[in-house]
């Protein structure tokens, strides 16, 4: 009797356990984190994140997208320059969300979250609450508050258990700039990288902790892969629902900022010994362009509402005053010679201290600094 009773007892316990689990989660909700791979355009270089909700009884299959913005605003580009970017969340049908990635041949990965009834309902209600006019808008901050951080935060906020997330970066060594560079390098965006490194200051070189690193879609996905609450994984299943068909074309080395400015530096050194007349024109153009860089740096430093363009060490070589001094190069006045001597000394110092600076400089700045150091020294010696 005991021998035959044990299988019956086990089967009964399994049966009632299934009923109990069904009663615990009667939400009929399936909630997933959607991670979209990078695209070709700069705005899509870092990928995208969304939250998918499937409510089978209600025939709902929607994605909550925190990356919506209105570029029809006549002051959009002015606000964008100042860092005033109003983003919002919208719920869109799953096919509508996917169409962009189908068209651009970008991969999409779905991670189904392992949540209980209360967590699913709380998360779903929080997402719907975000859709209200008074809650849907937020001030976009690329590294601090973006469509990925919004998605990750609202999920973790509504998990009632303590979520442990494995490290996705090397703590104390990885910076925001290094993380951004990974995407710009892999996408062959060398000129975009040059521009970003020119105008964004040393705040981008702050070390990130594990939670701060989750501002990029791939890193949030990796964090969720290894996240768990006790012995329960946060992700129940992971599926690549759309495969990438993009072909990442190799960038020509001869068109990168480093090669272009290295060639210009070589021409400057060569002309210093040969073509003095043409060299004067080159000096004016070079220092005028450097002054434009400096004016851009100072303008963004002042007008931005955030701090990403402040404390920019590039101002030590890109002086806005070069805009005027470029046209005084042929003057033999002592103040002109002193001006270019100081600029040359600073350029030499930046090159010498390159690896110890608190801000990582773009490699293409090295030949620019070499030109400033070389030409500044020769101009200062004119009599």
Segment 134-192, tens digit of pLDDT: 999 999 999 999 999 999 999 999 999 899 998 899 888 999 999 999 999 998 999 99
Write down the pLDDT at residue 88: 96
Query: Domain for residue 323, yes or no?
Result: yes
Query: Domain for residue 289, yes or no?
Result: yes
Q: Is the dihedral of CA 360, 80, 83, 50 positive or negative?
A: negative
Q: Domain span at residue 52?
A: 24-168+210-242
Do the Cβ atoms of 62 and 92 come closer than 8 Å?
A: yes
Q: Are residues 231 and 273 in the same domain?
A: no
Q: Are residues 117 and 231 in the same domain?
A: yes
Query: Domain for residue 181, yes or no?
Result: no
What are the CA-CA distances from residue 139 to residues 86, 207, 219, 306 (Å)? 5, 23, 22, 11
Write down the pLDDT at residue 75: 80
Write down the pLDDT at residue 124: 96
Query: Domain for residue 3, yes or no?
Result: no
Write down the pLDDT at residue 22: 40
Q: Are residues 264 and 372 in the same domain?
A: yes
Please write the tens of the pLDDT for every residue from 234-266. Answer: 999 999 999 987 666 666 667 899 999 999 999
User: Which value, to the nearest 10 degrees, does the dihedral of the CA atoms of residues 177, 182, 188, 191 take?
Assistant: 10
Query: Domain for residue 77, yes or no?
Result: yes
Write down the pLDDT at residue 274: 79
In the chain (383 residues long), the average pLDDT of successive 10-residue segments reads 39 42 68 95 91 94 94 80 91 96 95 96 96 94 94 95 90 93 93 96 95 96 93 94 78 85 94 82 96 98 94 98 95 93 98 97 98 95 78
Query: Domain for residue 1, yes or no?
Result: no
- Dmax (CA) for the chain in angstroms is 114
């Amino acid at each position: 009797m005991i021998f035959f009773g044990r299988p019956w007892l086990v089967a009964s316990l399994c049966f009632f356990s299934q009923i109990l689990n069904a009663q615990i989660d009667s939400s009929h909700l399936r909630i997933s984190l959607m991670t979209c791979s990078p695209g070709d355009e700069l705005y899509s270089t870092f990928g995208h994140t969304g939250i998918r909700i499937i409510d089978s009884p209600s025939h709902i299959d929607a994605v909550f997208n925190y990356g919506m913005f209105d570029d029809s605003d006549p002051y959009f580009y002015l606000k964008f320059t100042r860092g005033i970017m109003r983003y919002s969340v919208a719920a869109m049908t799953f096919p509508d969300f996917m169409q962009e990635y189908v068209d651009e041949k970008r991969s999409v990965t779905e991670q189904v979250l392992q949540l209980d009834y209360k967590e699913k309902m709380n998360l779903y209600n929080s997402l719907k609450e975000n859709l209200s006019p008074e809650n849907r808008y937020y001030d976009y901050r690329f590294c601090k508050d973006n469509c990925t951080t919004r998605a990750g935060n609202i999920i973790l906020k509504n998990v009632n258990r303590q979520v442990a997330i494995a490290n996705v970066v090397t703590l104390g060594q990885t910076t925001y700039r290094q993380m951004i560079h990974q995407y710009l390098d892999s996408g062959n965006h060398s000129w975009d990288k040059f521009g970003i490194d020119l105008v964004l200051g040393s705040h981008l070189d702050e070390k990130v902790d594990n939670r701060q690193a989750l501002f990029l879609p791939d890193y949030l996905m990796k964090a969720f892969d290894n996240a768990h609450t006790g012995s329960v994984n946060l992700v129940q299943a992971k599926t690549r629902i759309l495969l990438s068909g993009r072909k990442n074309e190799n960038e020509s080395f001869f068109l990168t900022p480093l090669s272009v400015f290295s060639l210009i530096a070589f021409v400057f050194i060569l002309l210093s010994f040969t073509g003095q007349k043409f060299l004067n024109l080159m000096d004016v153009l070079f220092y005028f362009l450097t002054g434009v860089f400096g004016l851009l740096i100072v303008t963004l430093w002042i007008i931005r509402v955030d701090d990403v363009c402040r404390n920019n060490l590039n101002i030590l070589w890109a002086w806005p005053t070069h805009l005027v001094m470029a046209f005084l190069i042929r003057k033999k006045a002592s103040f002109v010679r002193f001006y270019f001597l100081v600029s040359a000394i600073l350029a030499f110092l930046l090159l010498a201290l390159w690896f110890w600076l608190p801000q990582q400089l773009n490699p293409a700045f090295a030949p620019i600094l070499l030109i400033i150091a070389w030409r500044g020294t020769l101009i200062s010696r004119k009599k």
